[in-house]
Structure 1
């Protein structure tokens, strides 16, 4: 069995979106947002399951793409977290910055299925 022409792009984009929303919901960024963290943790778990299934059946090129994109996403999230927590002093400033990024990546997530065309 193989993945044929199936692309993991929407799942990779959704994983990034969920990771950003999880960061947004943490107490040091936006206090009292446990529901945001909960629902996006479930979403991230689902996306990682989908990506794991893709990974099992993908050729080496597809596997490398998934690993590469996930590594870039984690690196990007680390940079965002470091910059947000060190450069923004108030919860309002942190919420604004991370919230804007969440909206941008939310739009990208919904546009990502267009990559299969």
Structure 2
């Protein structure tokens, strides 16, 4: 039974590696845009530095735990790719952002990770206690990492727009969380399993919001297409001949001109009738004189 459970754990660990690999590669379009424009353009380096720190912690935990090769493989790749991202950001970022990134690296990677390794390995903890303490640190930090996307969820609900949710990344994160949760459950390692419950919940919430607000945006778009707003009130005349488009101001001038022509015609008609009546009177006078 233990061998059977181990086989399933290995299978889900491999799947977790695959989906986590896709998650680690998801920022590539962002950094490609940075490379093309030769500027970081307001992008933040914090997610990359935090991901680097998290991967280093999990590698350390995997070495202490032993028999956790799948944790080592994916987090080694994570350290490699996140280091490239951070270096890329530092190269193209403005001076202030570059200094902030270097400070964050020193605080988390050098100070934080170095302090954890030094304290847990040399002074305080030994054996199974050391593994449990480092695992608890990984658990807490992973929970903090999974809580971060809740800011995106809040932004989506506030703006009712899905532009802040990368849908494919949400899918990969959710699937990755599911695989690592089952992997931790089969190995009875709650330090791996528990954080991924929150990861799955947040990823599922993002996808639900995406579907809900994406449909709303599509309906609004259809309404706008069916009932377009006329800003300049332009009237288009369709006829056999190609006629120019007339604006509201031009239409008003034409109506005024029409009214003027109509009044002129009425005046000419009245004048003509008056002249005819006067001429008839003259004829009648001449007839009487004769």
Query: TM class, shorter-chain normalised?
Result: 0.7 to 0.9
Give matches, 1:76-95, under 5 Å: 76-86=112-122, 87-90=124-127, 92-95=128-131
Structure 1 residues 61 and 112, CA gap change in structure 2 (3 angstroms):
farther
Give matches, 1:22-41, under 5 Å: 22-26=59-63, 29-41=64-76
Q: Which runs of 5+ in 2 are unaligned?
A: 1-37, 156-290
Alignment match, 2:41: 4
| 2:77 aligned residue (26, 42, 46) | 42
Select the structure of larger CA radius of gyration: 2
Q: d(CA) in 1 for partners of 2:84 and 2:146?
A: 19
Q: d(CA) in 2 for partners of 1:65 and 1:52?
A: 13
TM-score of the aligned structures, taking structure 1 as reference length:
0.85
Alignment match, 2:51: 14
Alignment match, 1:70: 105
Answer yes or no: is the 8 Å Cα contact 1:30–1:94 preserved in 2: no
Q: d(CA) in 2 for partners of 1:50 and 1:111?
A: 22
1:95 CA displacement = 1.5
Q: d(CA) in 1 for partners of 2:74 and 2:66?
A: 16
Q: d(CA) in 1 for partners of 2:147 and 2:45?
A: 13
Q: d(CA) in 1 for partners of 2:112 and 2:84?
A: 21
Tell me the SS of whatever aligns to 2:65. Answer: coil
Tell me the SS of whatever aligns to 2:112. Answer: helix
1:112 CA displacement = 4.1
Give matches, 1:90-109, under 5 Å: 90=127, 92-109=128-145
| C-alpha distance after superposition, 1:47-67 (max 9, x if no partner) | 111111111110111111111
1:17 CA displacement = 0.5
Q: d(CA) in 1 for partners of 2:89 and 2:148?
A: 17
Answer yes or no: is the 8 Å Cα contact 1:9–1:112 preserved in 2: no
Once the two structures are overlaid, the 10-residue window that deviates more, 37-46 or 104-113, is 104-113
Structure 1 residues 25 and 47, CA gap change in structure 2 (3 angstroms):
same
1:111 CA displacement = 3.6
| C-alpha distance after superposition, 1:9-44 (max 9, x if no partner) | 111111110010011111xx2122222122101011
Q: d(CA) in 1 for partners of 2:49 and 2:146?
A: 12
Tell me the SS of whatever aligns to 1:7. Answer: coil
